Structure 1
Amino acid sequence: MGQAAMQPRTDWHLKENARDHRTSKFSSKELIVRRGQAFTVTFNGTGQPEQNLTFITETGPKPSKLAKTQATFGISSTMSTESWSAVLQSTSSNSVSISISSPPNAVIGRYKLSVQTTSSGSSSPAILGTFVLLFNPWVSGDDVFMPNKAECEEYVLEEFGIIFAGNKNHINSFGWNFGQFQGDILNICLSMLDQSLNYRQDPATDVSHRNDPKYLGRVLSAMVNANDDQGVLLGNWSGNYDGGKSPSSWTGSSEILQNWKKSGFKPVRYGQCWVFAAVLTTVLRCLGIPTRTITNFSSAHDADGNLRIDEFYDASGNHLDRSADSIWNFHVWNESWFSRSDLGPSYSGWQVLDATPQEESGGIYQCGPASRNAIKEGDVDLDYDCPFVFAEVNADCMYWNYEAATGKKTLMFSKSTVIGQFISTKAVGRDDRVDVTIDYKYEEGSTKERDIFKKARKKLGLEDKFDPTAPTPQEIDQKPDISGRFKVAGPLEVGKDLSLILVLENLQSDAKTVHVNMTAWSTVYTRRPVHEIRKDSISVTLSPKEEIQFPIKILYTEYQQQLTTDNTIQVTALCLVEGGIQVLVQRDITLDNPAIDIQVLGEAKVNKEVDVEVIFTNPIDMEVMDCVLQVEGNDLLRGILEIDVPPVKASEKSSTKFKLIPFETGPKHLLVNFSCDKFADIKTFKMVNVID
């Protein structure tokens, strides 16, 4: 072996390269560039004619040319779009500037760059240093290429998001800090890949697949939840979050990812769907894959894969846990943008990924990428997990009455238009809601939508099978004698009494006697009952065609102790008509927290202190204690500010002031979360325009 070459000094031109590659928001001392695009590097100490230089890039534990995790290339006169290449920029007596370009399908990750001088043959390569290569939605050869520049800005570079929640009658929203460029997040995202089961089983093969967004999306959908692997977040839907943080208390992804790393990759407690989706958004945007969060209202969880949701109720109207199927008030997942060479161009574009552990796929809790176009067209036989996602937005609902004593079940009614409503995402460049339901299915109730549903059942082999749970024709044809609904007759706010009206109408021209069993339960947002709040029964005779209204009042003192952090209550009235069939009337209610207000007192300027005031008015007639204010916002403050707030007496106003020193210009979002013993996680955000 000859003499090892002297370690050259390398200038990575961090500022210029970061500007050209749109990676300036990363706070790294390491070069971060995007694939399929040239970057400049200058080094000295070769003392050799530049035409004798050979460059070597390597990534992963066992770099090889065959696996495309290693490349060797000399200097050429023009850039290649197919392979790694280098073009000479300038030379001086002791330094060389070259432009290096990777192919647009290169493996992403951390690379080592070395240079070897061929004339000295025997000397070992000199290491120039390391750089990180990311996906590039701005380059047309990349699978994640997104032609619309405004969408690239939003879905890759935007660190603030809005997540929609609540229920189909009452959509609310809150801000989220994705923070994909903050601190150490990029390194944590790369270590997530190295923690995955695929990497642990076969590191070299896993790394060689990291050029493919559909592979990475699937791996990361498994890694964001803690099932099966040393994933990031442990899910908890019990309503009891002891031993961790309540899912609704998080305001951003950075804290979660940092905690995961600090703990030596032990799962962070706890997540629910929007937390899983928000963290996956952070990771994919960080790596350069355009990604957004999607909220589906009345979202089906079809456990047995028959595109049907079975719900069971007892004679008192209690929701029974007899089926693994469920309908969630809302569910949040992700869409990522990339082409599907495996399925053909008509299935490219938005792909559904879901990191919430609901059902296993390929033996582990992962979901997607399912092509959104395939979902809309009922092509449920395509990879990956299309039937599950199809059911989430378009399953049919069957409502059964179940008698425990006899084991007899009777179909009360079925509905094909309940599931998948107001599918929502944040607008590009604005803090508004955009409805994308029409991108997931044809208009509900149209013949086209029903035809697609039948096509999907056929593809899954469900249309001719004898189904013992299927309703018999006479069960479906029976028409109820009465109709019922719950009307809201007052404010839907935590701390206020809940006023409802049960409206019953006799549809027949003879009198009907009805026995009504009513229940009210607090639930989590998946509609899982947690605590009983109220149980009532009434009997009434309705004259022909008569409509009767029963006012129902649930006092704050009745529900206060029972409410979960989701602020949801389900009211059910099971109506037994003498000599007729049962009618189920149901409503899911989401209560709003009281408002908090953020005031920025003065102009926000870079590196100048500005005061911010947060005002909370206690709406109830008792003191609230254990008040904590949590504040975060990229480029406005570092990390998370936690302030203990003194107790607030009944109906009094509390004002909390703190200072910010913004360090970047432009529109920034400040997120605030206020908690106390009576109200969990009151969230708001404010856009702060920072000037020079």
Structure 2
Amino acid sequence: MDSMQQQALHKNRGTDNCHIRLKIVNFETHDNQISHETQGLSDKHLVVRRGKPFKLTLLLHGRSWNPCTDRMVLDVCLGSLFERIPVLFNGERTGHPGWSAVMYPDKRHSQSVTIYVCSPVLSSVALYDLLVHIDTIQHRKTYAVGKFVLLCNPWLKEDPVYMPLNVHLDEYVKSDYGLVYMGTCANISKQLWSFGQYEPGVLEACLTLLQISPQHMNNSHQDYMLRADPVYLSRVICAMVNHNDDLGILEGRWHGGYKDGVKPTDWSGSADILQQWVSSKCRPVRYGQCWVFASVLCTVMRVLGIPSRVVTVFNAAHDSDANTTIEEYYTSIGEKLNLSQDNIWNFHVWLECWMRRSDLSAEFDGWQVVDPTPQERSAGIFRCGPCPVAAIRQHCFGAQYDTPFLYASVDADVIQLIVKNGLVVGRAVHTEQVGQLICTKSVGSDKPENLTRTYKGIKRGMAPRLEVSLNIDGVPLLGESIRMCVTVTNQSSNTRALMEHVNAQLKEYNRNPQESFWKTHKEMHIKPWEVLTLHHSIPYSEYESILAGDGMVNMAVVIKDTRTRERVMAAKEFSISTPPITMEIEGGDIIQVRKEHAVQVTFTNELTKTLMGAVLTVEGSGLMQEKQEVRLVFLQPGQKIEMGVSIMATSPGTKLLVATLRHSNSPMIVSRSYQKVSVTAV
């Protein structure tokens, strides 16, 4: 039955010759969902927000309504729980602060009445059943009239997720696309992500997620009662986004093959993941990594009405031994050793959710970190947070949840130890290496917003007598040489004889480096207070055959004083960019729904080598029914590979076109570009 206008299902509780019956209930879906800012979330159910009235129009059959003799009562039901609401006639006042309902007769149609129903501001987020009881002097009749979805209300001041500015509500609740920042501080890349909360079935998938959580399966009564609290909701959903402890959405994989699933870098939106999870009867979708976990969580939280944003931490520490410091071990020639359980990810992505913390003091209200990537357990379950960003900055480790771990992620000291023959021959403490940059998409634009100082105070360390720094020249591009500059400063009054060791290792963004693929050594002398600048270059031929999919390199330099044996070091991690793919949409990137548009996609081989078996692929959820591709056996230097595709949007909103170029020279290296498409209804 259409949720907008439903024939009432009648449960007989009296004689059949009653004089007044409920014939049709109109859920006024269009008006309600405009009023409640829920347009497009579902075409199956009325979706409204708690604490704000929504209206129903009832068409009666038989005689007109008599407020002196007739009474109407509503039941809103959650499983075995229900709330009975007496419907008051216009002008009457309710005597309690719970659910309320007020009836207004239609002056033009004597057999039509409008009822405004309002939930308490701390109602549970769920799919409710609605029953209508009609009592007259002679009889009572009960009608099951349908279902409605109740969400959090960030537009309402009394709601714990209230957010006062409309521009923030547009960005953190209503917007259906975002940006994920990846790579390294020296070479930040961005990926467009379609949150897809208005795609078919997404809201229903989010409700399913709540219904199959361990908390609900173990005690549905208690779970329904606790769902009013966004802190509780975020902990339940955070655990359910990964499947490690339950029937959750995503299975993670960080190394090995992905042939039995989808490579994490190939996802560009949440809707496909949620729809696949539901259609497979809640079997985990393969595969996710941190940005996929965080982006899917962002979709679920925005659907449920909790303002959320995806945040990237560059140089994010994983403190496995819970001592809030990170130990790193290097050889005397600068090769990093895998001797520590701690590690530093080039980037890590998590979510911030906006809410008041009634379980803590008011200073911890606002943005909370919620991290669904299964790294460490919290109260025995793979989840993390919600943790106030303010608690991380203030080092309030007792504030729930998981503050020490998240503090270490953004602000741990890094202790670098140089070892030789099993002995520590050099030691350095870096106080600013972790959490070098923390950012999110800016409000109303695609530029990054720097959040670093909302997480971190200022720490200072003592400068050594011998200083060294390492910098990469520009942004390394695949096919070109990697150029770097080492700067050595002598902060003493003595001339020094030095030995320089520079070392390059391949690495993945979330793991320690592999074996070295390039190294160099050099002897030099440095005068008192002198600053030496040393230049090095790694040709493409030195890294072409070994570069991995995400193109990460760990570079380290160790400077040794040959007389005093003093050693200092510096390290830098960076990614190597791939040539871009261009996409041009006929008429621009703002298109109308159900109108066909042509897209021209082009990739130019900017390398000095011929690419073998080049495959250009284009896909777009909500724009193309299936992906399209074109192949070339040889793609010569300077040659283009082109294809034209047609797109047609099936619904309004923000959609993403994704183009990918693969080749057999380096199967793990791909070029990928994204094009944001804004779809209007008219």
Q: Does 1:643 align with 2:629?
A: yes
> Alpha carbons of 1:542 and 1:442: their partners in 2 closer, same or farther (altered >3 Å)?
closer
> Alpha carbons of 1:170 and 1:409: their partners in 2 closer, same or farther (altered >3 Å)?
same
Select the residue among 581, 598, 601 that pairs with 1:596: 581
Q: Distance in 1 between matches of 2:580 and 2:624?
A: 26
Determine the structure 1 residue equivalent to 2:660: 674
Determine the structure 1 residue equivalent to 2:555: 571
Determine the structure 1 residue equivalent to 2:481: 497
Q: Does 1:434 align with 2:449?
A: yes
Q: Distance in 2 between matches of 1:681 and 1:413?
A: 38
Q: Distance in 1 between matches of 2:675 and 2:93?
A: 46
Correspondences of 1:110-125 after superposition (within 5 Å): 110-119=127-136, 123=140, 125=142
Q: Does 1:62 align with 2:80?
A: yes
Per the TM alignment, residue 289 of structure 1 is displaced from its structure 2 partner at its CA by 0.6
> Alpha carbons of 1:105 and 1:213: their partners in 2 closer, same or farther (altered >3 Å)?
same
> Alpha carbons of 1:271 and 1:665: their partners in 2 closer, same or farther (altered >3 Å)?
closer
Determine the structure 2 residue equivalent to 1:587: 572
Q: Distance in 2 between matches of 1:624 and 1:95?
A: 72
Per the TM alignment, residue 210 of structure 1 is displaced from its structure 2 partner at its CA by 0.8
- Which has the higher mean CA deviation after the structures are superposed, 241-250 or 336-345? 241-250
Per the TM alignment, residue 201 of structure 1 is displaced from its structure 2 partner at its CA by 2.0
Determine the structure 1 residue equivalent to 2:496: 512
SS for the counterpart of 2:239 is helix
Q: Distance in 2 between matches of 1:318 and 1:79?
A: 76
Q: Does 1:270 align with 2:287?
A: yes
Q: Distance in 2 between matches of 1:520 and 1:315?
A: 14
Encode CA deviations 1:111-145: one digit per residue, 9 max, x unaligned: 00001123379756310101111111111121111
Determine the structure 2 residue equivalent to 1:553: 537
Q: Does 1:619 align with 2:606?
A: yes
- Which has the higher mean CA deviation after the structures are superposed, 570-579 or 253-262? 570-579
- 1:46/1:117 contact within 8 Å kept: no
Determine the structure 1 residue equivalent to 2:341: 324
Select the residue among 53, 76, 80 that pairs with 2:72: 53
Q: Does 1:129 align with 2:146?
A: yes
Q: Does 1:23 align with 2:38?
A: yes
Q: Distance in 1 between matches of 2:546 and 2:233?
A: 42
Alignment gaps of 5+ in structure 1? 65-69, 446-475
- 1:485/1:503 contact within 8 Å kept: yes
- 2:582/2:601 contact within 8 Å kept: yes
TM-score (norm 2): 0.88
SS for the counterpart of 1:625 is strand
Per the TM alignment, residue 612 of structure 1 is displaced from its structure 2 partner at its CA by 1.3
Per the TM alignment, residue 495 of structure 1 is displaced from its structure 2 partner at its CA by 2.6
SS for the counterpart of 2:359 is coil
SS for the counterpart of 2:378 is coil
Letter in 1 for 2:507: T
Per the TM alignment, residue 2 of structure 1 is displaced from its structure 2 partner at its CA by 3.7
- Which has the higher mean CA deviation after the structures are superposed, 678-687 or 94-103? 678-687
Correspondences of 1:141-540 after superposition (within 5 Å): 141-238=158-255, 240-403=257-420, 406=422, 408-410=423-425, 412-445=427-460, 482-489=466-473, 491-530=475-514, 532-540=516-524
Per the TM alignment, residue 46 of structure 1 is displaced from its structure 2 partner at its CA by 6.4
Per the TM alignment, residue 633 of structure 1 is displaced from its structure 2 partner at its CA by 5.9
Determine the structure 2 residue equivalent to 1:89: 104
Alignment gaps of 5+ in structure 2? 1-11
Letter in 2 for 1:266: R
- 1:481/1:580 contact within 8 Å kept: no
Q: Distance in 1 between matches of 2:611 and 2:483?
A: 24
Q: Distance in 1 between matches of 2:216 and 2:679?
A: 43
Encode CA deviations 1:376-421: one digit per residue, 9 max, x unaligned: 2222211111112222222111111234x54x34551102122222
Per the TM alignment, residue 306 of structure 1 is displaced from its structure 2 partner at its CA by 2.0
TM-score (norm 1): 0.87
Q: Distance in 2 between matches of 1:560 and 1:193?
A: 47
Q: Does 1:609 align with 2:596?
A: yes
Encode CA deviations 1:489-536: one digit per residue, 9 max, x unaligned: 465112323222334444444443434443322211125224642244
Per the TM alignment, residue 215 of structure 1 is displaced from its structure 2 partner at its CA by 0.5
Q: Distance in 1 between matches of 2:110 and 2:59?
A: 9
Q: Distance in 2 between matches of 1:641 and 1:8?
A: 48
Aligned length, in residue pairs = 650
- 1:489/1:501 contact within 8 Å kept: yes
Q: Distance in 2 between matches of 1:511 and 1:411?
A: 20
Encode CA deviations 1:234-266: one digit per residue, 9 max, x unaligned: 222226434332222211111111222222222
> Alpha carbons of 1:490 and 1:131: their partners in 2 closer, same or farther (altered >3 Å)?
closer
Q: Distance in 2 between matches of 1:103 and 1:691?
A: 34
Q: Distance in 2 between matches of 1:535 and 1:646?
A: 37
Per the TM alignment, residue 586 of structure 1 is displaced from its structure 2 partner at its CA by 1.3
Letter in 1 for 2:579: P
> Alpha carbons of 1:537 and 1:200: their partners in 2 closer, same or farther (altered >3 Å)?
farther
- Which has the higher mean CA deviation after the structures are superposed, 356-365 or 530-539? 530-539
- 2:184/2:346 contact within 8 Å kept: yes
Q: Distance in 2 between matches of 1:489 and 1:638?
A: 40
Determine the structure 2 residue equivalent to 1:73: 86
- Which has the higher mean CA deviation after the structures are superposed, 159-168 or 482-491? 482-491
Letter in 2 for 1:659: S
SS for the counterpart of 2:31 is helix
Q: Does 1:684 align with 2:674?
A: yes
Determine the structure 1 residue equivalent to 2:618: 630
Q: Distance in 2 between matches of 1:102 and 1:79?
A: 15
Determine the structure 2 residue equivalent to 1:460: none
Q: Does 1:106 align with 2:92?
A: no
Encode CA deviations 1:634-673: one digit per residue, 9 max, x unaligned: 6xx266644344453332112221122345678x454323
Per the TM alignment, residue 82 of structure 1 is displaced from its structure 2 partner at its CA by 3.0
> Alpha carbons of 1:483 and 1:444: their partners in 2 closer, same or farther (altered >3 Å)?
closer
Letter in 1 for 2:272: E
Letter in 2 for 1:625: G
* Higher-strand-fraction structure: 2
SS for the counterpart of 1:151 is helix
Q: Distance in 2 between matches of 1:690 and 1:661?
A: 12
Encode CA deviations 1:200-249: one digit per residue, 9 max, x unaligned: 22222112111111101111111111222222112222264343322222
> Alpha carbons of 1:432 and 1:32: their partners in 2 closer, same or farther (altered >3 Å)?
same
Identical residues among aligned pairs (%): 32
Q: Distance in 1 between matches of 2:606 and 2:671?
A: 15
- 2:490/2:531 contact within 8 Å kept: yes
Letter in 2 for 1:88: M
> Alpha carbons of 1:360 and 1:689: their partners in 2 closer, same or farther (altered >3 Å)?
closer
SS for the counterpart of 1:125 is strand
- 2:630/2:643 contact within 8 Å kept: no
> Alpha carbons of 1:82 and 1:440: their partners in 2 closer, same or farther (altered >3 Å)?
farther
> Alpha carbons of 1:4 and 1:555: their partners in 2 closer, same or farther (altered >3 Å)?
farther
> Alpha carbons of 1:122 and 1:173: their partners in 2 closer, same or farther (altered >3 Å)?
same
Q: Distance in 2 between matches of 1:96 and 1:349?
A: 42
Encode CA deviations 1:270-321: one digit per residue, 9 max, x unaligned: 2121111111110000111110011122222222222211112233422222
Determine the structure 2 residue equivalent to 1:14: 29
